[in-house]
Amino acid sequence: MAKSITLIVSGSIAAIKAPELIRQLRAKKIGVHVIVTAGGAKFVSLKEIEKLSGHKVSTDIFAPDEMRDMWHIRFSRETDLIVVAPASADLIAKMVHGIADDMASATLLANNKKLLVAPAMNTQMWIHPATQRNVAQLVKDGAEIIEPGVGMLACGEVGAGRMAEPEAIVKKIEAVLGTGYLALKGIKALVTSGPTHEAIDPVRYIANRSSGKQGHAIARALAAAGAKVTLVSGPTALPDPAGVSVKHVTTAAEMLAACEKALPADIAVCAAAVGDWRVTPSAQKIKKAKGKAPEFSLVENPDILRHISTHKKRPKLVIGFAAETGNAAKLGAEKRKEKGCDWIVANDVSDGKIFGEDNNKITLITSKKTEPWPRMSKEKLAEKLVEKMIAHLRKKASDGRA
């Protein structure tokens, strides 16, 4: 069935790119219903947008037709995705606070579909703690951000805040709608993410600093490339990525069982920070015995990555992570051999670095080379890693045919 989106154009100079975005979407046979905010209307011609999209543009929630037909509800019910491009700092702030005082913000509050947000604003507005806080909250609420680029802005200043180009926005939309070219269509992927919690008693547990951001980003990027993804996630504060089957687990043993169930798979990425040890948990809360701290004997947990790497249903490509506080590249290379996986993504976690952050700096270690990658966002890193996986699987398939 033909797919369609609701496009919200808000008050940023980047709104002048909206006609081009609509043109490209229509060329791909994606239906576009447009809402323009009062600010957005200062930059675009409603007539032009109506002509390009083939639908009436919605601007006023209280217009007689709009009100009678409850369009602020119907937009998300009758289209497959909501895209805000450009998203001004003001509209982002309204979204975060659930303000619903016009057609765009009311539609966003009534939204029951996935939400893509392409911010566009002056650099200082973008890096302002208020905007960064709001964007972080939007992501927590389940929105996906199409990161703005760096460049010369309309105000003459140079920096971050330029709306992503229409081509990049269309690519994201196609990935979410599943209408684009999907390099991993037909491929099954298993991803582990987040920490594990090992109970000590009903109150306490052994945990680690993993946030799950990197593993979840990899699951999302694999799904965007068309893979059928099972994400086995330890306890995290992150929303489930859209289009991914998520199995929530707590302990290493539960993670192993969920992974076992997800096999066979073509790709496995073990990004979870699995607890290496557990104790036999006490059914009762352990009480303080004056002056005598309890002693625990630790039992080693199963190694999930090694288990998958040596499995009779071993995936074609098994990728592990190595969190190291020494020479990450050297220790990662040793870990690759020792675990029997194909690639290791090594990072330096000295002083708790990387854990919980939005950026990551890694060294990719394969049997052939050691590649240090520059620092980048965990989302970008996930996309680049998936590109590598696609190239690897293609090469393997063509070698197999030769």
Q: Which region, judged by CB under 6 A, interacts with ligand CTP, from 47-55, 159-167, 174-182, 299-307?
A: 299-307
- Binding status of residue 252 toward ligand CTP by CB under 6 A: yes
- Binding status of residue 108 toward ligand CTP by CB under 6 A: no
Least distance (Å) between residue 378 CB and ligand CTP:
15
Instruction: Give the largest Cα separation in the chain, rounded.
Output: 80
- Determine which residue in the list 270, 317, 364, 389 makes contact with ligand CTP, applying CB under 6 A: 270
Q: Please give the residue whose beta carbon sits closest to ligand CTP in the complex.
A: 304
- Please state, in angstroms and as integers, the Cα–Cα distance from residue 363 to each residue in 196, 227, 334, 378, 381, following that order: 24, 24, 13, 14, 11
Count residues binding ligand CTP (CB under 6 A). 16
- Please state, in angstroms and as integers, the Cα–Cα distance from residue 231 to each residue in 22, 244, 268, following that order: 34, 7, 10
Which of 12/309 has CB closer to ligand CTP? 309
- Binding status of residue 274 toward ligand CTP by CB under 6 A: yes
Report strand pairing: 198-199 vs 317-324. unpaired
- Determine which residue in the list 272, 318, 328, 364 makes contact with ligand CTP, applying CB under 6 A: 272
DSSP 359-400: EE-EEEE-SS-EEEPPPEEHHHHHHHHHHHHHHHHHHHHHHH
Which of 148/234 has CB closer to ligand CTP? 234
Least distance (Å) between residue 383 CB and ligand CTP:
19
The answer to whether 221 and 381 are in contact (CB under 8 A) is no
Least distance (Å) between residue 332 CB and ligand CTP:
8
Least distance (Å) between residue 320 CB and ligand CTP:
3
Considering Cα of 95, then 99, then 104, then 108, what sign does the dihedral take? Answer: positive
E strand intervals along 120-166:
144-145, 149-152, 158-162
- Please state, in angstroms and as integers, the Cα–Cα distance from residue 333 to each residue in 162, 266, 277, 347, 366, following that order: 39, 23, 23, 12, 8
E strand intervals along 158-204:
158-162, 188-193, 198-199
CA angle 233, 237, 238 (to 5 degrees): 65
Which of 20/338 has CB closer to ligand CTP? 338
Least distance (Å) between residue 269 CB and ligand CTP:
8
- Determine which residue in the list 39, 194, 243, 320 makes contact with ligand CTP, applying CB under 6 A: 320
Residues in 153-192 at the binding interface with ligand CTP, rule: CB under 6 A = 192
- Determine which residue in the list 10, 131, 301, 309 makes contact with ligand CTP, applying CB under 6 A: 301
- Determine which residue in the list 221, 321, 354, 360 makes contact with ligand CTP, applying CB under 6 A: 321
- Binding status of residue 364 toward ligand CTP by CB under 6 A: no
- Determine which residue in the list 9, 18, 322, 389 makes contact with ligand CTP, applying CB under 6 A: 322
CA angle 29, 33, 37 (to 5 degrees): 140
Which of 95/229 has CB closer to ligand CTP? 229
Bridge partner residues of 318 (DSSP): 268
- Binding status of residue 304 toward ligand CTP by CB under 6 A: yes
- Binding status of residue 360 toward ligand CTP by CB under 6 A: no
- Please state, in angstroms and as integers, the Cα–Cα distance from residue 317 to each residue in 187, 267, 391, following that order: 11, 5, 12
Check if 259 is active-site. Answer: no
d(CA 225, CA 190): 14
Catalytic residues: 155
Contact footprint for ligand CTP (CB under 6 A): 192, 252, 270, 272-274, 276, 301, 303-305, 320-323, 335
